[in-house]
Structure 1
């Protein structure tokens, strides 16, 4: 290691590593394998980042896993001694090294406090910039505030975008509206088994995607249909009720169809507050309770102001109740929608016997998910790695449902395009066992709908 940044990227006889990326701690906690995502460019890790990672080594959350994995990877790469050349990241990749930094850089020492880790990371990046005149130096951080500070002092700063969705326009909606079809074609969906092959006589739909949904219209005539890749056909979708919950719009009807289909093992429901995504998922789970060993409802916990749950008063259950209450609220709605007292009693029985369990997402780790109907609420607050961890735990007979609103993100280092929910939707499109529905209309109340649209 070195005192400053003089040897971060020593001169080479040929120009093959055009950029130097200085990584912030939050990038590593987001993706421990990020150092292999910068192609042939070099990477610099400020010592302050290692100090911060040391605080995250112990724990069971995803960020603790990422910290431990990165530190083990870095240790294996560097060997016994880290030379001036740095450690190679592998064939076709650049080099990585750790920089100690020093006193705050002259550009910021009179305006920023050295006690703040972000300021020391910024200073290290500026030191690298001073020593390298012929190659771009870029600070990579998921912290918007740090990026703004870096730009203010003349340093290029960017978000980590390796797992970002390109744009909202390219985010799969799960449905299309087809207007102006022939009247006879719409009628065909209401005869026989409600199936129309996707041949030359079928709906004029270009490149349908597995489990994609369609609103097919001819003037006042219309039909809801879903495409199945297995038989290359469109199937009529009826507004089927689930445990007393009747769909109020086409999107909810599509959602319930996917939730009740045993062949679809992964479903994502995206929509604004009050669109009914969690409600229909829970209703479908209760409708199929006999087919599963357990119904699990989970939510990620993003504490207020990034403070740990330990700051809240009371025992563990008291700390968790505020986060789990929205799920209990949906159960209350289902109780009220069912006219018979027996339905409400059944829900309470399921809760008492743990057949229906509401739990924080962190408590799911280590559990065996066999024949589980698993609903993960507020999935927009999960990272791509957390999403992957959850899905890869699914055993035989398990169905996984993610619900979320990509416009209401509480996680400090995620946004609408970089969260795991958007990433999952983008990557799973076209898989036969996957279905996605975007719920657009709020059904909670007229007031809630107006507030969601205007405020």
Structure 2
């Protein structure tokens, strides 16, 4: 990631590479060491997340990210942002009543929104969660599909159930749904309602019509919060129909109290190949072909980092003394 060589020398690490990359590695090791000294438990995934964050933004405060970045969704799973944009997304949800999360698949838009919704519910900041999704992916009218209402809509709402069961025990989910504390329904069922004291998530919003989006945004009542997620590159509406999400970006983007957070391929947190696939499709849609980066040999600059108590710096290849870094 940083194009450096790291090797051990006794109890020390010797890091070799370009000066800018040495700065980044020093930042990662220095701040993670500080967290460890304070008793914060770090996993291998946390180290990768820290490296990704510094690669995206060298000024990022890793201590702040990890200390305030963890969400505990009803105690079953620790959910934490893994990228700079995911941190901005969670901050936006905390600070705004309406938040749009827009970007490619695998960037955590729906999952993080669900984690926030569950955290708000458990903390009694809201009294219910409402999860909505258009059913346009079917390519058919719901009325023509077999089964009762629940059987008709379940396949299109399954991704929301999957995220929910990942955070709460099945018995608790069933109890919440039975009491109406959690409601999962197609967006058409929002019409005519006023949603007070609720955390509302609209998923796959790129497949709403302009009428549906306007209807949804005007359902918000007192004490409510809404998160709208979507990927404007995956619109499944019939040809000639304007996406409600695309129109909303133009219509309400300048309203105070509404926040837009945009994700890109750097925020993809699924299988490592997914990030490359997203980049390849973006390059193809822009008229080119994605090519793998050509590895570069690092320059022979080295930095020695001793243990976990701090960092020291010098250029061993030129015989410079190793001195503590201020």
Out of 215, 231, 248, the position equivalent to 1:424 is: 248
> TM-score, normalization: structure 2?
0.60
The runs of at least 4 aligned residues of structure 1 exceeding 6 Å deviation read 215-219
CA distance change for structure 1 residues 397 and 445 in 2, over 3 Å: closer, same or farther?
same
Counterpart residue number, 1:276 = 108
> TM-score, normalization: structure 1?
0.44
1:331 and 1:451 mapped to 2: Cα distance?
27
2:174 and 2:207 mapped to 1: Cα distance?
29
CA distance change for structure 1 residues 221 and 376 in 2, over 3 Å: closer, same or farther?
closer
Counterpart residue number, 1:67 = none
Out of 221, 241, 261, the position equivalent to 2:71 is: 241
Q: Is the 1:383–1:414 Cα contact (8 Å) retained in structure 2?
A: no
CA distance change for structure 1 residues 331 and 385 in 2, over 3 Å: closer, same or farther?
same
- Is residue 2:270 matched to residue 1:444? yes
2:68 and 2:229 mapped to 1: Cα distance?
22
The Cα of 1:242 is off from its aligned counterpart by 4.9
Q: Is the 1:240–1:256 Cα contact (8 Å) retained in structure 2?
A: no
Structure 2 SS opposite 1:367: coil
1:250 and 1:219 mapped to 2: Cα distance?
8
2:274 and 2:211 mapped to 1: Cα distance?
33
Structure 1 SS opposite 2:201: strand
Out of 149, 161, 170, the position equivalent to 1:328 is: 161
2:213 and 2:135 mapped to 1: Cα distance?
14
The Cα of 1:454 is off from its aligned counterpart by 3.2
- Is residue 2:124 matched to residue 1:298? no
Out of 254, 275, 288, the position equivalent to 2:88 is: 254
The Cα of 1:219 is off from its aligned counterpart by 8.8
Cα deviation digits, residues 386-422 of structure 1 (max 9, x gap)? 211111121111111110000011111357xx42212
CA distance change for structure 1 residues 450 and 220 in 2, over 3 Å: closer, same or farther?
closer
1:308 and 1:280 mapped to 2: Cα distance?
30
Within 5 Å, which residues of 2 pair with 1:400-411? 400-411=226-237
Q: Is the 1:283–1:334 Cα contact (8 Å) retained in structure 2?
A: yes
Within 5 Å, which residues of 2 pair with 1:56-205? none
Cα deviation digits, residues 211-231 of structure 1 (max 9, x gap)? xxxx9999944349xxxxxxx
1:354 and 1:278 mapped to 2: Cα distance?
21
Counterpart residue number, 2:318 = none
Out of 83, 96, 99, the position equivalent to 1:267 is: 99
Structure 2 SS opposite 1:268: strand
- Is residue 2:188 matched to residue 1:362? yes
Q: Is the 1:260–1:288 Cα contact (8 Å) retained in structure 2?
A: no
Structure 1 SS opposite 2:129: strand
Structure 2 SS opposite 1:357: strand
Count the aligned residue pairs.
222
Stretches of structure 2 lacking an aligned partner (at least 5 in a row): 1-52, 282-326
Counterpart residue number, 2:202 = 376
CA distance change for structure 1 residues 355 and 414 in 2, over 3 Å: closer, same or farther?
farther
Counterpart residue number, 1:191 = none
2:240 and 2:109 mapped to 1: Cα distance?
21
Cα deviation digits, residues 156-190 of structure 1 (max 9, x gap)? xxxxxxxxxxxxxxxxxxxxxxxxxxxxxxxxxxx
Relative to total residues, which structure has the larger helix share, 1 or 2?
A: 2
